[in-house]
């Protein structure tokens, strides 16, 4: 098992990823969770989605899986998710879920869900380069591909 710079065994580590067969198209999301020696894999998908929605859904599912408030680090290869939840969301909320062009924020339903869930935990968001040999990211990617509805693979 690879080392993950976990400060202690009470912190949850989550690797999340999304995948689409066409964009838009059938999509899948995957999550690999670790806490100490415990690990869990989650995956699912939708018949019609986008890669960005699946990336977000993976982070949502990681947080939804926690049974109590936790300290968690979420690793994602999606700049959209990382920048969206750590930087852009503040302006969107302040502007009534409108972007800088005064248009509705794309995927506002998922951003609102992700925002509510993250506020129940102590979350650190960490970008990781995708498809670069990172074991956690590769595992989450495989789970996301597994989540794409079978008739579309």
8 as an active site residue: the answer is no
Give Cα separations from 57 to 28, 78, 81, 85, 105 (angstroms): 9, 12, 10, 13, 16
77 as an active site residue: the answer is yes
45 as an active site residue: the answer is no
Mind spelling out the 3-state secondary structure of the chain? CCCCCCCCCCCEEEEEEEEECCCCEEEEEEEEEEECCEEEEEEEEEEEECHHHHHHHHHHHHHHCCCCCCEEEEEECCHHHHHHHHHHHHHHHHCCCECCCCCECCCHHHHHHHHHHHCCCEEEEEECCCCCCCHHHHHHHHHHHHHCCHHHC
Q: Which of 17, 28, 61, 136 is catalytic?
A: 17
Q: Which of 28, 77, 136, 147 is catalytic?
A: 77
Q: Which residue has the tokens 């998922």?
A: 110
Q: Which of 28, 46, 55, 61 is catalytic?
A: 55
109 as an active site residue: the answer is no
Q: Which of 27, 46, 141, 147 is catalytic?
A: 141
37 as an active site residue: the answer is no
Q: Which of 18, 28, 44, 45 is catalytic?
A: 18
**Residues tagged active-site:** 17-18, 55, 77, 131, 141
């Amino acid at each position: 098992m690879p080392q993950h710079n976990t400060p202690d065994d009470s912190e949850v580590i989550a690797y999340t990823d999304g995948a689409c067969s066409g964009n838009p198209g059938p999509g899948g999301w995957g999550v690999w969770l670790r806490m100490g020696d415990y690990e869990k894999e989650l995956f699912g998908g939708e018949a019609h989605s986008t890669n960005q929605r699946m990336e977000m859904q993976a982070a949502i599912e990681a947080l939804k899986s926690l049974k109590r408030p936790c300290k968690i680090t979420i690793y994602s290869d999606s700049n959209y998710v990382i920048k969206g939840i750590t930087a852009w969301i503040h302006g969107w909320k302040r502007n009534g879920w409108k972007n800088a062009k005064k248009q509705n924020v794309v995927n506002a339903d998922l951003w609102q869900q992700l925002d509510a869930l993250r506020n129940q935990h102590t979350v650190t968001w960490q970008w990781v380069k995708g498809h670069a040999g990172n074991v956690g990211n590769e595992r989450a990617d495989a789970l996301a591909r597994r989540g794409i509805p079978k008739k579309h693979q």
